[in-house]
Amino acid sequence: MWAPSQGAYLTDGAALFHVAHTISDSASGELYLELEDCSTLEVVLCPAHAVAGSGFRSVAPALAP
């Protein structure tokens, strides 16, 4: 299963999210991603499998010259 690492940036083509943290639930084995919306700074917690199936792709931030 595709799962971005902490610090990665994801987009669906309309919004940009930063993977602030990855959290592994040792009881269930489920991986969760804490996603920060780069526009609103709102943070949401999502199961990694839901993010993987939602059309997000990893992107690299542009660096200033």
Q: What is the residue range of 27's domain?
A: 20-40+47-54
14 occurs within a structural domain: no
Q: In this predicted model, what pLDDT tens digit does every residue of 8-44 receive, in sequence order?
A: 999 999 999 999 999 999 999 999 999 999 999 999 9
Q: Does residue 60 fall inside a structural domain?
A: no
Helix (H, G, I), strand (E, B) or coil at 50: helix
31 within a domain of the structure (yes/no): yes
Which pLDDT score, from 0 to 100, does residue 21 have? 95
Residue 36 in domain? yes
pLDDT of residue 39: 95
Q: What is the pLDDT of residue 41?
A: 96
- The reply to whether 27 falls in a domain is yes
Quote the number of domains for the chain. 1
Residue 24 domain flag: yes
pLDDT reading at 60 higher than 70: yes
pLDDT at 1: 62
